[in-house]
Chain A
Amino acid sequence: MSLNFLSPDDPAALSVAQANALLASGQLRSTDLLQAVLDRIQAVDGVIHSYLRHDREAALAAADAASERAQQGRRIGPLDGIPFAVKDNIYTKGVATTAGSRVPQRHDPALHATLVARLQAAGAILVGKLNTWEYGTGTGAVHFDLENPPACNPWDPRHFTGGSSSGSGAAVAAGTACFAIGTDTGGSVRLPAAACGVVGLKPTFGRISRHGVMPNCWSFDGPGPLALTVEDACLVYEAIAGHDAADPASLACGVQPLLPTLNDGVAGLRVGVVRRLDPADSVEPAIDEALNQTCDILRDGGAQIRDIQLPLAPAEFRAIALPINRSESFSIHERDYLEHRSLMGRALREKLEIGMYIRAADYLAALRQRRELVARMDALFDDVDVLLLPMTDRVAPALTDEQAVINFTARSAGSPFSLTGHPAVSVPAGFDRNGLPVAVQLATGFLQEARLMRAARVVERHFTPQPRRAQVVSQPTSPVHSPV
């Protein structure tokens, strides 16, 4: 196996924490950091398609301002001067938002997501909008009928990125953004993080404001950071988490900082291991091995490890999630479906068509069942502090293997925590023999992000003591699916 890492001499290879240290000491200017990121976009985005659009001039102006602040000793904080990008379902004033769809947008172009405003207030530099499946919908298998080409995996562009925050995973892995913000409705932050070998955090439901984020399913949606390292994800989380009166689902309680305890280790932590979501499932050997190694690492760190089962089988989780997700999506997109469905890709059309016919009684039955499920999952977290489980049952498949692409998404372990709202993180756990990233997932009780990231940090320290971005080596490509 040979891995093509981006040279550590390239500023785009730096983690947020590393860049922050250099910016703070005056060894790096944010204009130079941004230029390195723009150069990466120029060099590799024709291959990986992480962006749908970016605003070079606005980013350069923001970098100039950040450089000036640094020169005057007035840096705002650790994200000041750091270039980032957001999934194209997050509204940004001045940069168009399309959610990867041909459907004409109805929103006010001045709408600016709270989370973007918070990042900009922290000095971070918005570079642009990242690729996504249409309105965050599908399994990735039929989104080749969209206007934009699918994002490709920086570790091997013939392979899938996972999604739906497909461009976010690709951008962070390739260094076309120092960090990214995705959205997660059933695993859409964690799956591309797993496929692209970066950290993807889905915080507790309601912890990060959804104001200015295009909805997909109100009951499950939540934004989250994708970052090169656990520390970077924490830095971004701390900048954007917190109450926002503009989001009716926003939690009013205070935010626990993550960084002060990040390196405190896992001694005494009770870890429940879910080796298979469904005992009948098979998991690729590289993922099984990563799971076993993670158990050893955590045990060596003083954690108590025991096998455990989730309260429901994956099919039961999916059965409850489906009517909620489909019905709410149809409610969101009803008018566009009636007026513009011919412009929609097949994945979105099919989802909405099912949503249109879900009976109200079934939708409500699912929401009632969800309340019971949340209580059962919560009870599980009385017995264990952290759950460890595979994120997916396979590494990122080839884009040409349609069934494997569908299975990567459909058989993943993303949905249970989206359904209940518990925080979960996908953490890189090395590479398989073909150089494709392997990941594990950790989850914990409500609002226990500090504990979650502490465990993630221990896992990261073992598997990726020096996290690196991908160089992106263009591979001879086979044609992907023809337009549907």
Chain B
Amino acid sequence: MSTSEFELASLESAVRIIWQQCGQTPPEGDELSRAASNLRHALAAGRDIPRVADKTIQPMTGRRHDIESQAASGAGLE
């Protein structure tokens, strides 16, 4: 996917705003261009994640109770 000059300028503006609103000094020059490109990559990455339709499914975070429950039930353990 090629990035047009307009798109790149818009992404650079977005990067500046994000950094400023986070209370940081935005990058400049080559670093700003790289950051703009990485912003585009990061947003595009989100499009590749299949969405879970079932609203009851929670994110998998923290301690793996799913593994421990298998151990507790002795499921398949030799």
Question: Chain A interface (Cβ within 8 Å of chain B)?
Answer: 204-206, 219, 248-254, 256, 261, 315-316, 319-320, 322-323, 326, 338, 350, 353-359, 361-362, 364-372, 374, 381-382, 421, 445-448, 450-451
Contacts and interface: CB of A to CB of B under 8 A. Distances in A.
A270 to B, nearest CB: 12
Interface in B9-64: 18, 24, 34-35, 38-39, 41-43, 45-46, 48-52, 57-64
B78 A219 contact: no
Nearest to B25: A338
B68 A251 contact: yes
A350 B38 contact: yes
A204 B67 CA distance: 9
A254 B68 CA distance: 10
B1 interface: no
A354 B68 contact: no
Q: Tell me the dominant secondary structure on chain A's binding face.
A: helix
Contacts of A448: 76-78
Given A251-B64, A253-B67, 7 more contacts: A326-B42, A358-B46, A362-B49, A368-B60, A371-B57, A447-B70, A447-B77
Given A252-B68, A357-B18, A447-B71, A367 B45 contact: no
Nearest to A357: B42
Nearest to A421: B64
B67 A446 contact: yes
Contact of B67 (A205, A256, A356, A381): A205
A206 B46 contact: no
A323 B59 CA distance: 13
Contacts, number: 118
B67 A354 contact: no
Given A369-B52, A445-B76, A251 B61 contact: no
Contacts of A447: 67, 70-71, 77
Given A251-B71, A354-B45, A374-B60, A368 B38 contact: no
30 contacts: A205-B64, A250-B63, A251-B64, A256-B78, A319-B50, A322-B48, A323-B46, A350-B34, A353-B35, A354-B42, A356-B38, A357-B18, A358-B42, A359-B43, A359-B46, A362-B46, A365-B46, A368-B57, A368-B59, A368-B60, A370-B60, A371-B52, A372-B57, A374-B60, A446-B67, A446-B70, A447-B67, A448-B77, A448-B78, A451-B78
Interface of B: 18, 24, 34-35, 38-39, 41-43, 45-46, 48-52, 57-64, 66-68, 70-72, 76-78
A205 B39 CA distance: 31
A365 B24 CA distance: 28
B67 A206 contact: yes
Contacts of B48: 315, 319, 322
* Shortest Cβ-Cβ A-B pairs, 9 listed: A362-B46, A367-B59, A357-B42, A253-B71, A319-B48, A353-B38, A371-B60, A368-B52, A357-B39
Contacts of A372: 52, 57
Contacts of B67: 204-206, 251, 253, 421, 446-447
Contacts of B59: 364, 367-368, 370-371
Contacts of A248: 62-63
B42 A356 contact: yes
| Most chain B beta-carbon contacts within 10 A, residue among A368, A371, A451 | A368
B38 A374 contact: no
A475 B47 CA distance: 46
Nearest to A450: B78
A253 B68 contact: yes
Contacts of B34: 350, 353
Contacts of B57: 368, 371-372
Nearest to A207: B67
B74 to A, nearest CB: 10
A315 B59 CA distance: 21
B58 A368 contact: yes
B10 to A, nearest CB: 14
B76 A374 contact: no
A280 to B, nearest CB: 17
Contacts of B52: 365, 368-369, 371-372
